[in-house]
Amino acid sequence: MDTQQQQQQSAIQGAKVLMVGAGGIGCELLKTLALSGFHDIHIIDMDTIEVSNLNRQFLFRRSHVGQSKAKVARDAVLRFRPHINIRSYHANVKNPEFDVDFFKQFDVVLNGLDNLDARRHVNRLCLAADVPLVESGTTGFLGQVTVHVKGKTECYECQTKPTPKTYPVCTITSTPTKFVHCIVWAKELLFAKLFGDKNQDNDLNVRANKAASSSKETEDVFERAEDEDIEQYGRKIYDHVFGYNIEAALSNEETWKNRRRPRPIYSKDVLPESLSQKNGSTQNCSATSVDDSATVSAMPLLGLKNPQELWGLTQNSLVFIEALKLFFAKRKKEIGHLTFDKDDQLAVEFVTAAANIRAESFGIPLHSLFEAKGIAGNIVHAVATTNAIVAGLIVIEAIKVLKKDADKYRMTYCLEHPSRKMLLMPVEPFEPNPSCYVCSKTPLVLEINTQKSKLRDLVDKIVKAKLGMNLPLIMHGASLLYEVGDDLDDIMVANYNSNLEKSLSELPSPVINGSILTVEDLQQELSCKINVKHREEFDEEKEPEGMVLSGWTQSPATKGESASTSNNESAVEVTESSSGPEIASKKRKLSETQPENHKRETENVESEDDDDLMEIENPMTVSKKKRVA
C-alpha cells in the first residue's frame, strides 16, 4: 500500500461520521460505509420499519416491522462488521439534543432525508458547526449527490427549491376537473374536518337551502351526538358533502354555464338500508388492533383484497362508511388530532373512497386505492439500484471531504436516460450565493400592511413557513417581541402570546415602515435581518398572504398555478410528482448539452414510503452559477 492509500485509509478509519436517515439510501449507505473501512458511525432516524420498506431496504426483515430503522440497521451491519462502532438514535434530528455542539463532534455529515424542512435544518446546523455536509436524494431512476462546505461551496439553501403546486380553494371545493382536485378535497378538507381540528374553517359546512330551513339542520353537521349511531352519522356526513353541498353549488347557474354540471349523490340511492347486517360488526374485524392503529382496515370487512382493483360507486360508498365507523370504533381517542398519513391504511382508504365518490359526482374518472395513495402521498416509487448508486457516490464524496481534496469535489447526477453516453453526470460545485440569507447574511425585505397584519401572520407565514425556523426569536431593536422555548416562565409566555394577536404597529415596540427586525433560531444558530416596508394593498389572487418577502426566493410556479404557499383560505397546496432534469457535465454550459426532451423541472416529491426526497435544480439556474475555482 503506497503512502497516498495509507493516508486515505487512515482518514477513513479515524473519521467520525453522522448519517441522518436510515431508509432507502440510508440502508445502502450504512452498508457501504462499513465495507469501506469506516469505524465510527452515528445514525439518526425517527421512523419505524413498514412492510412496504422490505422490497428495497435490505437490512430489514419482516420480523423487524414496527421496530426502529436506525437500531435495526445498526444491528444488521454489526453482524458482518462486529469490530466497528455504530451508534443509533431513534429520534427526530430536530430534537434539542442534536444541537450545534452535537454536530461539532463529527468530521462529515451524510444526509439521506425525505423532506425539505429537515434538510434545511441539518444544513444550518452544519454551517453553524462548520462541518461538511454531503446531501443526496433519489426519485425513481433519478438521483443526485451534492457537497456543501462552509465558505467554499454553496450551502443547501443557496439555490431555490421547487415549491408545491397550489390550487385555489374555489376549484377544490366547487369546480374540480382533475382527480387530484378530489384527492386534495378529501385529504385537506374532509379528512381534516372529520378527524382533525373540528374548529377549522372551510367550505364543507355549506348546506342546500332546503336543508337550512330547519333549525336542527343549521347545527354543525360534523358534530356527532353522544348517543348518535355511527352508521347514521356516517350517512349524514355522506349526504351532506356529496348531496346537499352539490345541490347548493348547482343553485349558482352562472358557475355551470360552460361547465359540466355535477350530480348530487345520496346514501339512500347507493347503499342498502343497513350495513351492519350485510358486513358484520366493526367490533369483529380481525384486521384491527387498538395497539396498532396503522393496520386497521375497512377492506377485509368488505371482501376487498386487491388495492389495484378499481372500485365502483357502491364499493367506494361502502368503504367510506366502514372506514368512518372504524375510526370511531377503534381509534376514537385519536379523533380531533389526526392528520393524513399515507402510511395509515384506514386514512388512505377513507380518502380514496371520498375522492372517488366526488369524482363520480363531477364526471371525473375514478382511480384505484393504489393510484390514489400515490397521488395523496406524492409518491414516486423507489428503485433500489438508484439508492445503491447514490450511496456509493456519497461515500466517494465523503472520502474526498476527509482528505480535503476540495478541487475534486463533484455534484453528481444519476440520469434515467444517457446524456452524451453517460448515466452519471458530474458537475463542479459552485461558490456560495452572495444573496443567500442563510450563509451570506443578506438582509431580507418584507412588504406588509403593518396596521392590519398581526405578529402571528409574520411568525406563521414568514418566519416558520418560508424561513424554516423551528424555535424563532424576533427582536425590534432592543425589544424582544416573540420567543419560543421550554425555559420561559408563564408571564413571558402570556406576554408573547398576547403580542401574537396584535398588529405590528400596535406592538410594545411598534413595527412600522422602515423598521428592521432581527429574527433568530437559537437551535440552528441562524440569524437574519428583515427590513419592513409598509404597503396598504395587495392583490388577493397574486399575493393571497397579504405580504411579500424579497431576498427569499422560490422557484416559479408551473404555468397556470399559484405560487403561493399560504395556509389561508385562498389556496390549497398539493405536490405532484414529475421527473427531474438531466444535468450536463462540468465542461460545458448546461444549456448547450440539454436535449430538449430532457428539460424537465422536478417538483418536491417523496419516493415510496418516505425514502428520499429529491430536488434537482433547474438546469437553466445551474448554468448561470459560478463554479468554485
580 annotated among ligand-binding-site residues: no
Residue 286 confidence (pLDDT): 39
25 annotated among ligand-binding-site residues: yes
Q: Which residues contact 298 (CB under 8 A, 6 or more apart)?
A: 319, 322, 323, 325, 326, 346, 349, 350
376 annotated among ligand-binding-site residues: no
Q: What angle do CA 95, 101, 104 make, to 5 degrees?
A: 115
Q: Are strands 472-476 and 516-521 parallel, antiparallel or unpaired?
A: antiparallel
Give me the phi and psi of 402, to 5 degrees please. Answer: -65, -35
26 annotated among ligand-binding-site residues: yes
439 annotated among ligand-binding-site residues: yes
Residue 213 confidence (pLDDT): 39
Burial code of 347-369, b = ≥16 C-beta within 10 A, e = fewer?
A: bbbbbbbbbbbbbbbbebebbbb
For residue 43, list its beta bridge partners.
19, 88
Provide DSSP, 356-386.
HHHHHHTTPPP--HHHHHHHHTTEE---HHH
Whose CA is closest to 438, among 105, 128, 161?
A: 128
Residue 540 confidence (pLDDT): 78
Domains along the chain with CATH numbers: 3-163+381-427 (3.40.50.720), 177-363 (1.10.10.520), 444-587 (3.10.290.20)
Instruction: Please tell me the pTM assigned to this model.
Output: 0.69
Assigned C-alpha cell, 530? 428583515
Given the C-alpha cell 392583490, which residue does it identify?
A: 539
In whole angstroms, what is the distance from residue 586 CA to residue 553 CA? 25
Cβ–Cβ contacts within 10 Å for residue 7, how many? 12
Assigned C-alpha cell, 22? 436510515
pLDDT digits (tens, 9 = 90+) for 486-512: 788 888 889 999 999 999 999 999 999
Given the C-alpha cell 452515528, which residue does it identify?
A: 42
56 annotated among ligand-binding-site residues: yes
3-class DSSP string for 239-250:
HHHHHHHHHHHH
Q: Is 447 exposed, middle or buried (0-12, 13-18, 19+ CB in 10 A)?
A: middle
The amino acid occupying position 411 is M
54 annotated among ligand-binding-site residues: yes
Residue 202 confidence (pLDDT): 59
21 annotated among ligand-binding-site residues: yes
Given the C-alpha cell 347557474, which residue does it identify?
A: 253
> What does the chain come to in residues?
629
Task: Give the helix ranges, DSSP H, for 540-618.
Answer: 590-593
Whose CA is closest to 298, among 364, 242, 230, 197?
A: 230
Q: Are strands 108-111 and 444-448 parallel, antiparallel or unpaired?
A: unpaired
- Using the Cα atoms of residue 453, residue 575, residue 484 and residue 513 in order, give the sign of their dihedral: negative
Q: Are strands 571-574 and 472-476 parallel, antiparallel or unpaired?
A: unpaired
- Using the Cα atoms of residue 303, residue 308, residue 309 and residue 315 in order, give the sign of their dihedral: positive
Residue 200 confidence (pLDDT): 64
Assigned C-alpha cell, 364? 371525473
* Ranges of residues in the chain whose predicted pLDDT is under 70: 1, 162-169, 198-219, 275-294, 552-629
485 annotated among ligand-binding-site residues: no
pLDDT digits (tens, 9 = 90+) for 270-306: 988 776 544 444 444 434 444 456 678 999 989 999 9
Cβ–Cβ contacts within 10 Å for residue 625, how many? 16
In whole angstroms, what is the distance from residue 529 CA to residue 93 CA? 26
Residues known to be catalytic: 170
Q: What angle do CA 448, 454, 455 make, to 5 degrees?
A: 95
- 3-state secondary structure (DSSP) of residue 197: coil
Residue 562 confidence (pLDDT): 33
Q: Which residues contact 253 (CB under 8 A, 6 or more apart)?
A: none
Assigned C-alpha cell, 24? 432507502
